[in-house]
Amino acid sequence: MKLIAPTTAAPATLTPIPAFADNYIWMVQKNGHALVVDPGDATPVLAWIDQGLVLDAILVTHHHNDHTGGVRALHQRTGARVYGPRHENLPYRDVPLSEGDSVDLPGLGLHFQVLDIPGHTAGHIAYVGLIGADQPLIFCGDTLFSSGCGRLFEGTPAQMVESLGKIGTLPVKTLVCCAHEYTAANIRWALQVEPENVALQARAREVAELRAQGKPTLPSRLGLELQTNPFLRIRHADVRAAAQRQAANPLSSPEAVFACLRHWKNEFK
Ligand code: ZN
Ligand code: FE
């Protein structure tokens, strides 16, 4: 994927706006303009916008209410253009998107490309772009979490494996902007899968410290996730062996390993 650099050198600011119990509504600000991703609630976004930002765009990754509940109110209040998945029903949308489409935001000088990443929902999309000359990022909604992934509400393990595989080929320095603060709980489980993983042990310490200070554990970085997220490591021998120990039958494919891990995680307390 060839990403297009920002058209102006002004720095962009990336902010996770907390919403509900554990959602993040990602905001990018630049030149007095802003975009938000997955505004499940308009109120915390308006608190930022009303300080004097022009909201140019609302990017939606999937149809769940905790990602779309504030879309209509924000659109009505600000006139921001609403981008969202072509193959899902949303409360409001101006521009339907699927893989191969792009989002050009001249007010922000930013450009995003769209990936289809079904699995959590059937039409889930991601937005990939550069927020600095050399700083890629992805808004991945509820598909990839730090040390975890979304539950399969509407998709199959094979779809999710393919979707995570697409994300996994982005540059390792890509900032991973997930929509929930699930990291600490995910890591407790990931340490059951790979207790000997030194990178995961280090991430666990970092996350414990961040949470103790009330700070977000996100964005993550793709390189870190490739080292610490079991769902991106289904071909790794230790992860395969750990999954096999949970399974009654031989796990003969990456999809079977993934499905076993997903089931294990669903049951993990
Ligand atoms: Zn969701
Ligand atoms: Fe969600």
Model pLDDT for residues 174-208, shown as the tens digit of each residue? 999 999 999 999 999 999 999 999 999 999 999 99
Residue that wins the pLDDT comparison between 103 and 269: 103
pLDDT tens, position by position, 221-247? 999 999 999 999 999 999 999 999 999
Q: What percent of the chain has pLDDT over 70?
A: 100
CA of 66 to the centre of ligand 2 (A): 5
pLDDT tens, position by position, 49-88? 999 999 999 999 999 999 999 999 999 999 999 999 999 9
Q: Which phi and psi (to 5°) does residue 175 adopt?
A: -75, 130
Average pLDDT over residues 134-162: 98
Query: Is the predicted pLDDT of residue 9 greater than 90, yes or no?
Result: no
**Residues with catalytic annotation?**
62, 64, 66-67, 120, 142, 180
Number of Cβ within 10 Å of residue 10's Cβ equals 12
Q: Is 77 helix (H, G, I), strand (E, B) or coil?
A: helix
CA of 201 to the centre of ligand 2 (A): 26
**pLDDT-based confidence at 144, cuts 50/70/90?**
very high
Residue 82 CA to residue 79 CA, distance in Å, equals: 9
Average pLDDT over residues 10-35: 96
CA of 182 to the centre of ligand 2 (A): 11
User: 13-267 adopts what CATH topology?
Assistant: Metallo-beta-lactamase; Chain A (3.60.15)
Mean pLDDT score of the chain, rounded to an integer?
Answer: 97
Average pLDDT over residues 4-31: 94
**Biggest CA-to-CA distance, the chain:** 59
**Is the Cβ–Cβ distance between 85 and 96 less than 8 Å?**
yes
